[in-house]
Amino acid sequence: MPQALQLAFVLDPLPGLKAYKDSSVAMMREAAARGHAVHAIAREALTWRDGVVAARAQPLELRDGDHDWYTAGAATVQALDAFDAVVMRQDPPFDFEYVTATWLLERAVAGGARVFNDPRAIRDHSEKLAITEFDAFTATTLVARDGDDLQAFIDELGDVVLKPLDGMGGSQIFRVRRDDPNRNVIIETLTHEGARTVMAQRYLPAITDGDKRVLILGGEVVPYALARIPKAGETRGNLAAGGRGVAMPLTAREREIAEALAPVLWARGLMVVGLDVIGGHLTEINVTSPTCFVEIAAQTGFSVAGLFVDKLEQACA
């Protein structure tokens, strides 16, 4: 039995977490079930003074159920290096405050704290642009802000998807065909009249079979993916956009992609990674707060949260 750990989770406000599906809640419940002490920290509570990064941390008592799933004790200010591990699970938007949090957490690492995912790696890995490092696995992609470049890409491919680089949950994703009468205004809107860079990708008809979420935990590939299948009349599979989640074993191609990326990303301190794969093509590398733990576990019996805590215990040994 591993020694009991003191764990801190940097989270969105606790009352807003949906315990029935939230991966962070699943992580904390699994850790508590193993006898580890779990604390919650709000991102805005992070401070630096005299070389020490600290925060108000609330000890949590975790329970089953969708409501009244925790009791929070009195918050106390603690240095982050007093914890055995700090788990960064704050959801985007990846705005300046998020970047500031990574800077503060990076100073905590310099002072001896263990932080997962590594704050510098989070900051350096744009969840959209990170795929450009692994372009052997991607669909035809263009990153640009000039309208003429995007128009030429649409003309060449005929059917593309346009998305902002800082979106999440399927927000502001457009499918644009060559004959779309709204293509000009879509480009103008997404690029803010040429002031913002966006990503364009070849439309993949395999989206009808699901946008697959493939999880990598501590360099180990979870053997099941969650296929997020779009609802009728929709091209986005994101659960936040109404997609339906169906767990299924990895295909040979999905495993090939995940196994190629796993050691590279774990070497950078990215313990929890969520790849998005459509039709055997890598479309995103999610590192801020990847989800789908609960759905995969419920449908397959594979404890994703259990594997996460295994990796956390190993990293703290």
Give pTM, 2 decimals. 0.94
The domains of the chain are located at: 6-124, 140-203, 206-303
Q: What is the architecture, at CATH level 2, of domain 206-303?
A: 2-Layer Sandwich (3.30)
pLDDT for residue 238 is more than 90? no
Active site (annotated) includes residue 236: yes
Active site (annotated) includes residue 30: no
Please tell me which residue in 29, 43, 114, 228 is annotated as part of the active site.
228
Helix residue ranges, H only, the chain: 23-33, 96-110, 119-124, 147-157, 183-190, 252-267, 293-300, 304-316
pLDDT for residue 32 is more than 70? yes
Active site (annotated) includes residue 91: no
Please tell me which residue in 29, 43, 89, 128 is annotated as part of the active site.
128
The predicted-structure confidence for 150-197, as pLDDT tens digits, reads as follows: 999 999 999 999 999 887 666 789 999 999 999 999 999 999 999 999
Active site (annotated) includes residue 163: yes
Active site (annotated) includes residue 286: yes
Q: For residues 200 and 80, what is the distance between their CA atoms, to the nearest angstrom? A: 40
Under CATH, domain 140-203 is a member of which superfamily?
Answer: ATP-grasp fold, A domain (3.30.1490.20)
- Position 230: which residue type? P
Please tell me which residue in 236, 254, 295, 311 is annotated as part of the active site.
236
What is the assigned CATH class of domain 6-124? Answer: alpha beta
pLDDT for residue 2 is more than 80? no
The predicted-structure confidence for 89-102, as pLDDT tens digits, reads as follows: 999 888 999 999 99
Q: For residues 158 and 177, what is the distance between their CA atoms, to the nearest angstrom? A: 5
Phi, psi for residue 217 in degrees, rounded to 5:
-120, 115
Please tell me which residue in 29, 43, 163, 311 is annotated as part of the active site.
163
In this structure, of 59-73, 96-110, 157-171, 200-214, the range with the lowest mean pLDDT score is 157-171
